[in-house]
Structures are given as C-alpha cells and as structure tokens.
C-alpha cells in the first residue's frame, strides 16, 4: 500500500509541476513582443542538426583537451606496457607514444586525424597542463632524493658524479664547435649554444635509473647504493648547472648573468637555511589523520608554488624551484611517502604523458631527410655515450670499484630518459635548439636510454663469475668494519 501511495504522489508532484512549467513558458512567450528575438532555424533534418551540435561541442577547447588527454593516456599506457614486456623502462614506451602521435608518424600518414585531435590552436592548453605535470614531477624527484645516503657515500659519489658531468660537458662543447655554424639558430651566440649542448650531454635520468635498479633487485646491494647516490649527486649538480646555463642564455653573456646567478645562489641558501628548518618543524607537528592535515598539505603546496614562481621570476625556470621545494621538504619518511603517493599517480599517469606528446609534436624526424643529418645524429649519440659512459666508468674504476661495477655504473649513468627531454624542451623554448637539432637530441635520448637494459645484461653475462666473488668480498669488508666498530 505504501509503495502505491509513493508512486501516486510521485506522478502527482512531477506531472502537476510539469504542467505549471509548461504554462509559464507559454504565457512567457507573450513577453517577447517587440524584443527582436532571433530564433535559430533548424535545417529540418534532426540527424544533421544533432551531428552539427556534436561537432560544435567537440571543437570546444574543453572537449578537445579531454579528447587529447584520453588519447594520450591510452597510447602511452599501451606502449609503456609493451616496453615493460620486452625488458625496457615503461618511460621509453611513453616517449615513443609522443613521437607516434606527433608529426613524425600520425601527422605524416594521417594528417586529417592529427589536425582533428591536435589542432594548432589547442597546443598551448596542452603545453600548460604538461608544465603543471612537470612541476609536480620535479617536486616528487626532489623528495625522492635521500640526502642521508649522499652523506654516507659522498666521497665516492662526488668523484664519479662530477667526472660523469665534466667529461660529457666538455665533449658537448667540443661538438658545438663543429656544428655551430650549420645548426645554431640565428641570433644565438656560440656561448649559449655550446653551454646548452654541454648540459644536454651531462644529464642522467635519476627516476629511470632508480626504477631500473629497483626492477633488477639492486637497491639493497652496495653497487645499487653507489649508483643511486651518484645519480642523486649528478641530479643536484646538473640542475644547478642548468640554472646557471639558463641564466647565461637569457642574459646573453657571462657578465650579464652574474646578477641572475647571485639571486639564484641567494634563493638556494634561503631554501636550505631558512625554509628547510621551518618546514621540518611543521612536519614534526604533522600527524596522519588529523583534522588539520589538509592545512599542512596546503602549506607544502604553497611552498612548491611559491618556490617555482620565484625561480621562474629570477630567470632559472620554474622546474628548478619545484625540485628545490622537494629537496627541502621534511625528511620524515612517512610524511614524504604520503606526499609522494598523493602526487605520483597524478603526475606520472595523468599529466606527464602530456609532456611526452608535446615533445613528440615538436620532434619532426622527417626533417632529418639526408645522410648528412643522420651522420650528425650518429656523431651526437657517440659523443653522448663516450662522455657519460666513459667518464662514469673511468671515475668508478679510479675510486676502487671492480671492472664489472665500474661498467655497470657507467651504463646506468648513461641513461638519459625523461630528464633529457625536460632539458631539451627548455632549450627549444629558449630558442637555443632549432627543430632539426631538437629532433637529433631526442633520438640521442631514446638510444642512450634504450641501450641501458641490453648493456646491463651483457655486462652481467661477461662478468658472470666475478660478480659473485665481488659481492662476497664486499660482504667480508662490511663484516670487518662492523666488527671493528664493536
């Protein structure tokens, strides 16, 4: 009985007020007299009218952006899965997804589809969203750096890391001398071009390297610890150098950039000496599940945004500010992990693939349309491998590592991946790299990252017997040290 009563009430209330609404609309039309109301005249074909409305809605900036994001995530995740299956980092598949969706493949063979999904006027929105993803990603990278590990192995790490930077940096500047006349954009000085080529050769992909070490179960070994520490030291040094290089490029000369560099140094000192202790106190008072926990998170996000804004204003790029904000976050393990978990999925899964596609849209492999350009590309790859691999391996051997460990460290440090693309996009935005040079450098980043897995397998195979002996020796050394401490 109650059910029937409810149904009758529903019919009465909906039906009654629907009639009232209809009556108001009918009477209200009389008020339109003399107001020159323009009515859209339908074509008479309901299907055509619906399709026209559908296309109009799809061409709205929000509709285009949602279509782009959906397409990008599907292709990036699919290729990331394929590359994981063949023993490569998933980031390689995501980078390749960007190139496939760009003018090198989709734009070349299906130009109408490409212009529909990625119309020129929409790229600005996609780029802004990708930059937000990069800011969050660099913040996470800063938080993932374990400064205590750096302190424990600082001597070995600094020697290997700085050798793995200075040698490729010098090699990159040497290469710039030979290709500047042909490949430097008009209005770009040799200083700016050579410095940027040097820093591009010096980058190591810390996140990719960390994931390779984790996937291979090396994170708890002595070799894994050294490699991670070297990459962390490399990351900090390379980003500081990049900030200086950007300052020089924007100022036009070393002398003109001194003011920017001094501001940058002051900023770093304030972040380490003032912001870090203050954030540490705030972090100590934070308790998971507190009612005010969102206020704490808001404070840390404000630090991230303010830091990024300051470095962008100074002239050393917002990404450096995001990285430094991550570094100075409270070193409370649970807090950092909580924050990383909150941001990592959004940054890595949703926003970062957008950056790969923006890079892919800029990468026009079709521009490399003669043998000479491919020879220069090959030369760039050789110089990059020689500088980073040889520099790291030689320094590791000098510090007393075995040949197996030295070559492994050299291989890992030669991994460029995403971090290289970040640097290349900055260079492209600053006008230091033209479209041809940008495409060549992207290919170099792909090759040096792709070769990491197979080369590690080869080293493992060649040094199969000596590896076990080395690990045994390291264990004995650790036991002796522990005994002496007792």
What are the structure tokens assigned to 478, written together?
């650790």
The whole-number pLDDT of residue 204 equals 85
DSSP character at residue 185: P
110: DSSP letter: -
Is residue 93 domain-resident? no
Residue 150, helix vs strand vs coil: helix
Largest distance between two CA atoms of the chain? 100
H or E element, residue 36: none
329 in any annotated domain: yes
Give me the chain's average pLDDT, please: 83
- Low pLDDT (below 70) residues in the chain: 38-58, 146-155, 219-220, 286-293, 465-486
21 CB-contact burial (10 Å; exposed 0-12 / middle 13-18 / buried 19+): exposed
Q: Is 338 part of any domain? A: yes
Contact 350, 69 (CB under 8 A): yes
The C-alpha angle with vertex 25 and arms to 22 and 27, in degrees rounded to 5, equals 110
Nearest to 452 by CA among 398, 484, 410, 418: 410
Q: How far is CA 475 from CA 18, 219, 263, 268, 471, in A?
A: 82, 15, 47, 39, 6
Q: What is the DSSP string of 43-82?
A: -S-HHHHHHHHHHHHHTSHHHHHHHHHHHHHHHHHHHHHH
Q: Tell me if 36 is assigned to some domain.
A: no
Q: In terms of Cα–Cα distance, which of 204, 199, 320, 336 is closest to 268?
A: 320
CA dihedral 163, 169, 174, 177 (to 10 degrees): -170
- The angle that helices 318-327 and 123-144 make with each other, rounded to 10 degrees, is 30
- Whether residue 371 lies inside any domain: the answer is yes
Under 8 Å between Cβ of 207 and 228:
no
Cα angle, residue 202 at apex, residues 198 and 203 outer, rounded to 5°: 130
What CATH number corresponds to the domain at position 179? 1.20.1530.20
* Per-residue b or e along 159-193, where b marks 16 or more CB atoms closer than 10 Å to that residue's CB: bbbbbbbbbbbebbbebbeebeeebbeeebeebbb
Cβ atoms of 358 and 118 within 8 Å: the answer is no
Number of separate domains in the chain: 1
In a domain, 273, yes or no: yes
Q: Residue 376 has what pLDDT? A: 95
Name the residue among 94, 84, 88 with its Cα closest to residue 347.
Answer: 94
**Residue 84 is assigned to a structural domain of this protein:** no
Structure tokens at 407: 């070559």
pLDDT at 480: 44
Q: Which residue range is the domain that position 351 belongs to? A: 112-464
Predicted local distance difference test score (pLDDT) of residue 291: 52
Report the C-alpha gap between 408 and 37 in whole angstroms: 76
Q: Over 201-255, what HEC string results? A: HHCCCHHHHHHHHHHCCCCCCHHHHHHHHHHHHHHHHHHHHHHHHHHHHHHCCHH
Q: Are 206 and 419 in contact (CB under 8 A)?
A: yes
Looking up tokens 């004995």 gives 476
pLDDT tens digit sequence for 230-286 = 877 787 788 888 888 888 888 777 777 788 888 888 998 999 899 999 988 887 776
- pLDDT score for 52: 63
pLDDT score, position 197: 93
Residue 449 to residues 189, 348, 384, Cα–Cα distance (Å): 30, 18, 11
Q: Decide if 480 is inside a domain.
A: no
DSSP secondary structure of 416-447: -HHHHHHHHHHHHHHTSS-HHHHHHHHHHHHH
């Amino acid at each position: 009985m109650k059910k029937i009563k409810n149904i009758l009430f529903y019919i009465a209330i909906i039906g009654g007020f629907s009639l009232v609404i209809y009556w108001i609309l009918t009477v209200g039309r009389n008020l339109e007299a003399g107001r020159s109301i323009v009515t859209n005249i339908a074509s008479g074909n309901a299907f055509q009218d619906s399709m026209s409305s559908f296309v109009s809605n799809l061409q709205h900036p929000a509709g285009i952006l949602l279509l782009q994001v959906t397409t990008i995530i599907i292709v990036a995740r699919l290729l990331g899965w394929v590359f994981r299956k063949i023993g490569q980092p998933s980031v390689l598949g995501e980078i390749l997804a960007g190139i496939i969706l760009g003018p090198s493949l989709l734009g070349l063979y299906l130009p109408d589809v490409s212009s529909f999904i990625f119309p020129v006027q929409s790229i600005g929105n996609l780029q802004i969203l990708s930059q937000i993803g990069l800011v969050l990603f660099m913040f996470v990278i800063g938080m993932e750096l374990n400064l205590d590990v750096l302190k424990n192995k600082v001597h070995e790490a600094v020697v290997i890391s700085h050798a793995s930077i200075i040698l490729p940096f010098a090699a990159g500047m040497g290469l710039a001398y030979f290709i500047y006349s042909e490949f430097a954009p008009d209005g770009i000085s040799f200083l700016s071009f050579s410095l940027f080529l040097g820093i591009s050769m010096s980058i190591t992909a810390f996140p990719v390297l960390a994931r390779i070490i984790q996937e291979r179960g090396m994170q708890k070994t002595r070799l894994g610890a050294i490699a991670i520490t070297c990459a962390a030291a490399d990351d900090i040094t390379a980003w500081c150098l990049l900030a200086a290089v950007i300052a020089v490029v924007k100022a036009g000369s070393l002398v003109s950039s001194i003011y920017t560099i001094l501001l940058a140094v002051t900023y770093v000192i304030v972040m380490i000496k003032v912001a870090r202790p203050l954030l540490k106190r705030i972090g100590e008072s934070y308790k998971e599940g507190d009612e005010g926990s969102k206020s704490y998170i808001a404070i840390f996000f404000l630090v991230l945004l303010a830091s990024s804004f300051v470095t962008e204003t100074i002239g050393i790029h917002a990404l450096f500010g995001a990285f430094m904000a991550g570094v100075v976050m409270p070193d409370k393990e649970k807090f950092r992990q909580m924050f990383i978990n909150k941001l990592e999925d959004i940054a890595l899964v949703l926003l970062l693939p957008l950056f790969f596609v923006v890079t892919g849209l800029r990468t026009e492999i079709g521009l490399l349309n003669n043998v000479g350009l491919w020879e220069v590309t090959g030369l760039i790859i050789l110089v990059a491998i020689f500088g980073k691999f040889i520099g790291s391996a030689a320094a590791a051997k000098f510090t007393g590592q075995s040949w197996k460990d030295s070559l492994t460290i050299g291989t890992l440090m030669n991994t460029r991946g995403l971090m290289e693309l970040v640097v290349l996009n900055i260079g492209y935005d600053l006008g230091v790299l033209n479209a041809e040079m940008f495409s060549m450098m992207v290919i170099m980043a792909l090759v040096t990252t792709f070769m990491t897995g197979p080369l590690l397998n080869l080293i493992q195979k060649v040094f199969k017997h000596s590896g076990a002996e080395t690990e045994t020796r390291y264990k004995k050394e650790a036991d002796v040290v522990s005994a002496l401490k007792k």
